[in-house]
Structure 1
């Protein structure tokens, strides 16, 4: 396993445990997108012809919308942090996303910058995410 936590990220005042917490939160990114997209799929409800009570205050549509909004907020948070960490360099954002959210190693990416600069982007991302979460 590659050494991901280094003294450099400790300079951002992020403990190893906090870094691992943020890292594993970001690895849930594909699940957030999948669940968000499932909220927008068409579904048919099973109707047995029996009237339903009104004890439930929210409808299925409202619950789906709330869930979609929650998942979208998480995805948007990561996207904003990626943009801020890249200093507006949109060319590095897809590779940074693949590395941070999907676990693709630097070696497997076609990154338009050197490894040191890429690592600084990663560390800055975790620093920004730590402040926002």
Structure 2
């Protein structure tokens, strides 16, 4: 279920970003559940290390621990960025914004599901502000 918001605002709007950039950022945020799942699946990785890596013929050093740490940092950095921008958007409504942005749910569904304590106009203003801030963060 996607949010039914116009992808492009008037250029005079203070939170205007280009339509395709908005879609890029929206799809970036929709990957959040995948990042969380991948991050959590890597937690038990060191416990499954009994197999030894055979030597490689190319003399390339393969460090599975470093790869594992790099992957976890990659997912953690992306999740923290989205969470930080949601908090920067609005401290009190950040949990609602984060849920809607990462799961692609509309205000109406969010209102019915969680009882968000603001009106639709305020929510969509914050929604646009979130993507505007994320656009600045990812440049």
Q: Same fold (TM over 0.5)?
A: yes
* Structure 2 runs not aligned, ≥5 long: none
Partner of 2:27: 24
CA distance in structure 1 between the aligned counterparts of 2:11 and 2:83, rounded to whole angstroms: 20
- Do the aligned partners of 1:22 and 1:130 also contact (CA within 8 Å) in 2? yes
Distance 1:10 1:22, change over 3 A: farther
1:62 matched to 2:66 = yes
CA shift for structure 1 position 38 = 1.3
State the aligned residue count: 128
* Structure 1 runs not aligned, ≥5 long: none
Q: Given the alignment, which residue of 71, 75, 89 partners 2:79?
A: 75
Q: Report the secondary structure of 2:127's partner residue.
A: helix
Q: TM-score, normalised by structure 1?
A: 0.84
CA distance in structure 1 between the aligned counterparts of 2:23 and 2:61, rounded to whole angstroms: 39
Q: List structure 1 segments (4+ residues) > 4 angstroms apart after TM superposition.
A: none
CA shift for structure 1 position 45 = 4.0
CA distance in structure 2 between the aligned counterparts of 1:72 and 1:131, rounded to whole angstroms: 19
RMSD: 2.2
